[in-house]
Amino acid sequence: MYPSIFDTATTEAMLTRLEGISADTTPQWGKMNAGQMLAHLNVAYDITNGKLPVSYNPFMRLMLKMFVKKIVVGSKPYAKNGQTAPVFIIEGDRDFATEKAKLIANMNAVEAEGAAAYEGRVSPSFGKMSSQEWSNQFWKHMDHHFTQFGV
Spatial distance between the Cα atoms of 147 and 132, rounded to a whole number of angstroms: 22
Mean pLDDT of the region 120-144: 96
Task: Classify residue 1: in a domain, yes or no.
Answer: no
pLDDT category, 136, cuts 50, 70, 90? Answer: very high
**Mean pLDDT computed over 87-114:** 97
Residue 2 within a domain = no
Q: Total structural domains in the chain? A: 1
pTM of the model: 0.94
In a domain, 130, yes or no: yes
pLDDT at 34: 98
Q: What is the DSSP string of 63-78?
A: HIIIIIHHHHHSSSPP
Residue 106 has a pLDDT of 98
The residue length of the chain stands at 151
Domain holding 76, by residue range, is 8-19+27-148
pLDDT, tens only, 20-43: 999 999 999 999 999 999 999 999
